[in-house]
Amino acid sequence: MSWAFDSLLFWGLGRLFGGMGDWRESSVTAAWSKVPLLLTLFTFWFPMILVYGRSLFQTEMPQSTLQAIFSLTFYPLWIAVFIYYVVITSKMLAEAHGFESSWKGFAVYLVSKLVFVFPLLILFTILGAIS
């Protein structure tokens, strides 16, 4: 679902920004850009489950020294991987749409995420006000 939605947004917004990429190039970009996130997810989740156990899935978690060290080690790595993901996705979008600058690819990426998040915020605000 995420792949299809990202493909549509990358293709449509890339075209609005003057890109020449087609649907196939945008969908390949959306698929391959997720690889660093998926590898990191699998790499981090197994140690997190071993260290945190069932408390990983609870709202209130007691913290041990091992868990604090684990958090201080893996959260900066996760942030670094996310920055890498954004940079790689921006460069892939620039390549797919024939932009001269990766900054234009970054603009397409950023606007696509805003187009995704903004309606959800409105929906959750309305639903929160109703119930």
Residues 22-81 pLDDT 10s:
999 999 999 999 998 888 888 888 887 887 777 777 777 667 777 778 778 888 888 999
CB atoms within 10 A of CB 83: 10
Percent of the chain with pLDDT over 90: 51
Query: SS3 letters for the chain?
Result: CHHHHHHHHHHHHHHHCCCCCCHHHHHHHHHHHCHHHHHHHHHHHHHHHHHHHHHHHCCCCCCCHHHHHHHHHHHHHHHHHHHHHHHHHHHHHHHHHCCCCHHHHHHHHHHHHHHHHHHHHHHHHHHHHHC
Task: Provide the token pair at 114.
Answer: 């805003």
Spatial separation of the C-alpha atoms in residues 123 and 48, rounded to whole Å: 32
pLDDT at 101 exceeding the cut of 90: yes
Nearest alpha carbon to residue 48 among 69, 26, 79:
69
Predicted local confidence at residue 24, as pLDDT: 93
100-119: b (≥16 Cβ within 10 Å) or e: eebebbbbbbeebeeeeeee
Q: What is the pLDDT of residue 62?
A: 67
Instruction: Look at residue 80 in the predicted model and tell me its pLDDT.
Output: 92
Q: Average per-residue pLDDT in the chain? A: 88
User: Which pTM does this prediction carry?
Assistant: 0.81
